[in-house]
Structure 1
Amino acid sequence: MPILKLRQDDERAEAEFELDYLTSLTTRERFELMLRKSREMALLLRRHERRRTTQVTKRT
């Protein structure tokens, strides 16, 4: 996987780099990447116990 190196933050260059990388993949590679990331997210959710999001409570 290629690595992008920039002297300063440049969101446009980062987005172009990401899109160029994703369009260079075959359909099979994109699905494999998607499935691998989905498994990674499921593992993280299990590891961190699917905590509920914090809620703001009003003081009365």
Structure 2
Amino acid sequence: MFYDLAKFQYFFNEGKADVGIEIVPCHNLQQQMSTGVSYGEQLVYDIERLKRHFPAVPVYVILIDIEE
């Protein structure tokens, strides 16, 4: 997901995007997927931890979940 944030920042700086949108599974869904898949709660935590230093572009994070 970090690569996606870097792409969002690049296109924002180039004036080709106004916002980044990342659609990711929530932790519950990620547990049922193959290995190596990241999840949305971690992305949100990482973005908040960076305190808007990176990315400096608005980012919408959409989490996908399943019903059990």
TM-score relative to the length of structure 2: 0.25
Which protein has the larger Cα radius of gyration, Structure 1 or Structure 2?
A: 1
Higher relative contact order (CA 8 A, sep 6+): 2
Greater helix share, structure number: 1
Name the structure where strand makes up a greater proportion of residues: 2
